[in-house]
Amino acid sequence: MMQVISALKGFAIAASDGRIGTVADFLFDDASWRVRWLVVDCGTWLPGRKVLIHPSAVSLADLEQQRLPVTLTKSQVEKSPELADDQPVSQQMENRLYTYYGWDPLWGGPYLSETPGAIAWPYMAPPYFGLGLDTAKAHGKRASLHGSDPHLRSVNEVTGYHIHAVDGEIGHIENFMIDDGDWSIHYFIVDTRNWWSGKRVLISPLAVKSIEWSDRHIELDVSRERVKSSPAWDPLVAFTQVYAKRLHKHYGWPGSGA
């Protein structure tokens, strides 16, 4: 099912024997456009500590109770490899987590198939830094990034990036729409208020031409007119496969998007 990712932020993470914290962020892979980790703030249970939970451990979201059940125990989480706030999330750390929990690094969700979001992108970016370190400070320490994962990005950080069509800016990333079956990012939700007042549009990662991490913007291979003539999107109306097919046909993107 398609899900706006910000709706899951703040959800309680429920282990089999009790609550372990709340979702603080999501880390996605900018090569596959798939969420790789949930960043969980352990709150008063483990004060000052954040942990990474792999999507494969997450059961179906309980939207009414605002909770994400996970197939873990509190003891497992407490004894898991610790993350330092002032260090990048390294590939070594990720490997330790995969080994500790027995998670599959190639997991693609129970519905893995030819999804539009699951494609390779050549745009390397500065890695996601320590869970409390600001981006500007992080960019000043590039010499110390050996071993960090160059494709791991924070949803919190990328939200707000400006989106440029081939002939001008169209807005900024307000949110992401994901498939909660395989946690792939299918669309950016773009707020166009400074160009097209009151409108929001969905843009697939398939339209991305380049990503300029240094000045926080994304270049698309579509024109402003093509965006403006795309099927209208209403955030208050349920996302349907019929709408997805119309959207993909309009832009010439492969797949149905849903």
- 139: pLDDT strictly greater than 80: no
pTM of the model: 0.84
Domains of the chain: 156-251 (2.30.30.240)
Provide the residue count of the chain: 258
- 94: pLDDT strictly greater than 80: yes
What's residue 127's pLDDT? 43
3-state SS, residue 248: helix
The H or E element containing residue 245 is: helix 241-251
- 86: pLDDT strictly greater than 70: no
- List pLDDT tens digits, range 176-203: 999 988 999 999 999 998 898 889 999 9
Token pair of 123, please? 């745009």
pLDDT band at 146 (very low <50, low <70, confident <90, very high): very low
What's residue 119's pLDDT? 34
DSSP character string of 101-118: HT--TT---TT-SS-TT-
- List pLDDT tens digits, range 16-32: 999 999 999 999 998 89
If you average pLDDT over residues 50-71, what whole number do you get? 93
pLDDT band at 69 (very low <50, low <70, confident <90, very high): very high
Q: Which residues of 35-64 are buried (b: 16+ CB within 10 A; e: fewer)?
A: bbbbbbbbbeebeebbbbbbbbbbeebeee
